[in-house]
Amino acid sequence: MEKLVVHGGNPLNGTIEVSGAKNAAVAIIPAAIMASSGVSNIDNIPDIEDVRCLERILESLGCKIKRCNNSAVIDSTCMTSVDACTDDVRKMRASYYLIGAMLGRFKEAKVELPGGCSIGVRPIDQHIKGFEALGAEVKIEHGAVCVKAEKLVGANIFFDVVSVGATINVMLAAALAEGTTILENVAREPHVVDVANFLNTMGANIKGAGTDVIRITGVKELHGCDYSVIPDQIEAGTFMIAAAACGGRVKIDNIIPKHLESITAKLIEMGAEVIEDEDSITVVSKGRLKAVNVKTLPYPGFPTDVQQPMSALLCIAEGRSIINESIWECRYKHVDELKKMGADIKVEGRSAIIDGVSKLTGAVVKATDLRAGAAMVIAGLIAEGVSEIHNLDHIDRGYPKIEEKFRVLGAHIDRVEE
Ligand code: EPZ
């Protein structure tokens, strides 16, 4: 078991490169199995455990994968199985994209129900509603989702909630359905657009991704292609917040500034300086920042996945901040950990009321989930003295080499064996 040891209290200075987007990569890799000819050469894949987990799952289905640095060549022409029921499938959330991908290509799939961060109830009723509307029979048996269809036929589907997962999953299946599918009330996250672009490069016909209506004209088959995953909006946001929290001047490079507008706006409201360039953002922070209120919303609103890192910054802002978490019902498990470091936070239902304190102090804490882990790293960097962060498996699922990237910025942070 490993832990991070952080000596806090130093400003951050320098430039970091953001990796490829986790939540795009974990959909694009399953989508690659929809190619019935050719291989897919996917670049800018983040080096994280969720990606390694998916690659193992694809190999268990008979795909061949060659990994080289940030690229992977995926050959799915030799797939032998549509039965994905392994420990790896249960470990992660995004394994549910195998349902849409295999249903599209093979018209059947059996996929164990997914795991992932424990941040509240995570139903998949909207995914199922979409598959059924396309003509599939869906059953949950022995903890697995079993889907089967004679054929898939395009349909008009209006989602009851805005769901990233359901939008992508149904888009995958519909790409190989007969006729036209219209998806309404869809998620507009950058990774939804990235998956649509990937599918189009494979030969699909998808229009409207990034708006709230997606129109898919089904094609008979998809082929392998070359593709590069977009930069990670959430990793970039995490580093922007860390820079604002620790003070200093940090350039966050290899990003799409438009994807970060809601975070940029909040940091400016708090008093930080944020300089946008074509593919970078520089955050300059001097002195104590002001408290702000934050409400998480689907894109282009403030991302729920940045709420926990943001809460670490708000712990030391001047005044009272109120966070309203509108996406997940239980995304405050990190609050008890922040309190060990001297934070003053009360959680009432979906809200967290944070009264800023002048400093945090180092403590032994744990990552309760992925983004909670990032929040604890930021808190450790702010805090006076030494912090230890345990349960790194959560952080490693989604942040590539987090301690190395922070060290580039002058942070004193080491990964050591417990
Ligand atoms: C994706 O989860 C991300 N995960 C999450 O990131 C992210 O927090 C979330 O989108 C929201 O942006 C991946 O992309 C792998 P949703 P997903 O379906 O797709 C409700 C991280 O830290 N809902 O958009 O599972 C649901 O309960 C992770 O990287 C239904 O009611 O989220 C939630 O309240 C954590 N029925 C809301 O919709 C459904 O069928 C949004 O969920 C599906 C969802």
In the chain, where the domains are located: 2-19+231-417, 22-228
**Distance between CA atoms of 195 and 21, rounded to whole angstroms?**
11
The full DSSP string for 310-374 is HHHHHTTSBSEEEEE--S-S---TTHHHHHHTT-EEEEETTEEEEE--S--B--EEE-SSHHHHH
Rounded to an integer, what is the distance from CA 66 to the centroid of its chain? 24
| Number of neighbouring beta carbons within 10 Å of residue 205 | 13
| 205-207, strands of its sheet edge to edge | 156-158, 180-184, 213-217, 205-207
Closest CA to 418 of 396, 394, 391: 391
**Distance between CA atoms of 4 and 16, rounded to whole angstroms?**
19
| CB 233 less than 6 A from any atom of ligand 1 | no
- Which of 161, 162, 192 to probe ligand 1 with, by most ligand atoms within 8 A of CB? 161
Q: What residue spans of 76-116 are helical by DSSP H? A: 87-91, 97-106
| CB 304 less than 6 A from any atom of ligand 1 | yes
Q: Same topology for domains 2-19+231-417 and 22-228, yes or no?
A: yes
| CB 23 less than 6 A from any atom of ligand 1 | yes
Tens place of pLDDT for every residue, the chain, 418 residues? 999 999 999 999 999 999 999 999 999 999 999 999 999 999 999 999 999 999 999 999 999 999 999 999 999 999 989 999 999 999 898 999 999 999 999 999 999 988 777 777 789 999 999 999 999 999 999 989 999 999 999 999 999 999 999 999 999 999 999 999 999 999 999 999 999 999 999 999 999 999 999 999 999 999 999 999 999 999 999 999 999 999 999 999 999 999 999 999 999 999 999 999 999 999 999 889 999 999 999 999 999 999 999 999 999 999 999 999 999 998 999 999 999 999 999 999 999 999 999 999 999 999 999 999 999 999 999 999 999 999 999 999 999 999 999 999 999 999 999 8
Q: Are 353 and 322 in contact (CB under 8 A)?
A: yes
Rounded to an integer, what is the distance from CA 326 to the centroid of its chain? 17
| CB 99 less than 6 A from any atom of ligand 1 | no
- Which of 23, 91, 395 to probe ligand 1 with, by most ligand atoms within 8 A of CB? 23
Q: What are phi and psi of 160, to 5 degrees?
A: -75, -30
Residue owning the nearest CA to atom 34 of ligand 1: 327
Which of 117, 146, 246, 315 is an active site residue?
Answer: 117
Residue owning the nearest CA to atom 5 of ligand 1: 305
The yes/no answer on whether domain 2-19+231-417 falls in CATH 3.40.50.11540 is: no
**Distance between CA atoms of 106 and 102, rounded to whole angstroms?**
5
Spell out the CATH class of 22-228: alpha beta
> ω into residue 309 within 30 of 0, thus cis?
no
Q: Does the annotation mark 78 as catalytic?
A: no
Kindly give the number of the ligand 1 atom that is closest to the alpha carbon of 165: 19
Kindly give the number of the ligand 1 atom that is closest to the alpha carbon of 125: 40
- Report the predicted TM-score, pTM, of the whole model to 2 decimal places: 0.97
Kindly give the number of the ligand 1 atom that is closest to the alpha carbon of 117: 35
